[in-house]
Amino acid sequence: MSGCRSMTDSHQKWQAAVHVSCKSFIAQNLKDPSGGFVPLEPAVGGAKPSSTDIAGYVSLMVQGQEILGPDSWGLIVVFWEYFPIYLEEYLQSGKMEILFPDQPLRLSVSRIGNQLVRTTLLLDQPRSAVCSEALLIRAMCDEACRVIQLCALKQILNGGSNDLISRIRHACDSVVSSGL
């Protein structure tokens, strides 16, 4: 039995070193994903959208495995606007269920011990991966802040961006520094 435990501990340490990336993309036509997606960058989209109803997706990769991708597109700005609520829920319970605007998708992030989390996108064929809690939360928080800052720059958000970023950073720092 102790050999089994040792193998599990070593597997968990290996998983903790896994690379996590998170990046947002928007539809080239802003509201219609059929024309393809481009990275959300300051230079993208010269015209100011009339609202936060911008089609896009979050690319979430864990150890090269795509958890979120173009098939999980939705209202990208709204997704990140609600992220602080989900993050605060995670701080309280060790679990967050992120629902996608306009899509029947749910991303579940659950603490499973030893500073590891299981991230699962519930689809017809669920996608799941285990990784370091700190890496996942930090990657998602960094991207949330980046998107909110870009939206504030483009005046897509009607104020409150500093408060959103502050809430995200505070919750992220709490998770990462405490090693919950």
Task: Considering only residues 148 and 176, tell me which one the structure prediction assigns the higher pLDDT.
Answer: 148
Distances (CA, A) of 78 to 33, 47, 51, 138, 147: 16, 19, 10, 20, 11
- At residue 52, φ and ψ (nearest 5 deg) are -85, 5
Mean pLDDT of 68-85: 84
Full residue range of the structural domain in which residue 108 is found: 2-178
Element (H, E) at 99: strand 95-99
pLDDT tens-place string over residues 92-106: 999 999 887 677 778
pLDDT tens-place string over residues 31-53: 666 777 888 776 545 555 556 67
31 near 55, Cβ under 8 Å?
A: yes
pLDDT of residue 149: 83
42 near 150, Cβ under 8 Å?
A: yes
CA–centroid distance for 169 within its chain: 14
Share of the chain above pLDDT 70, in %: 73
Task: Please state the domain count of the chain.
Answer: 1
Which residues 6+ apart lie within 8 Å of 174 measured at CB? Answer: 91
> How does residue 30 score in pLDDT terms, banded at 50, 70 and 90?
low
Q: Of 56, 59, 46, which is closest to residue 155 (Cα–Cα)?
A: 46
Distance CA 165, CA 141 (A): 9
